[in-house]
Amino acid sequence: MDSEEQNPIDDTATAYHEAGHAVVAMLLGRPVEKVTIERNSLRLGQVQMSQRRGTKPKDSLEVHALILFAGVIAEFKHTQKYNWGGAEQDMIGIRQLARSRGATDKQVERIQQRWFDKVHHMLDDTITWKAIDRIAIELLDKKCLSGRAVKHWIDYVSHSDRDEER
Residue spans per domain, the chain: 8-165
Mean pLDDT of 98-115: 95
Right CATH number for 8-165 from 3.50.50.60, 2.40.30.330, 3.40.50.1970, 1.20.58.760? 1.20.58.760
**Per-residue pLDDT, 40:** 72
Adjacent-strand bridge partners of 46:
36
- Indicate yes or no: pTM above 0.75: yes
Residues 78-98: tens digit of each pLDDT = 999 999 998 999 999 999 999
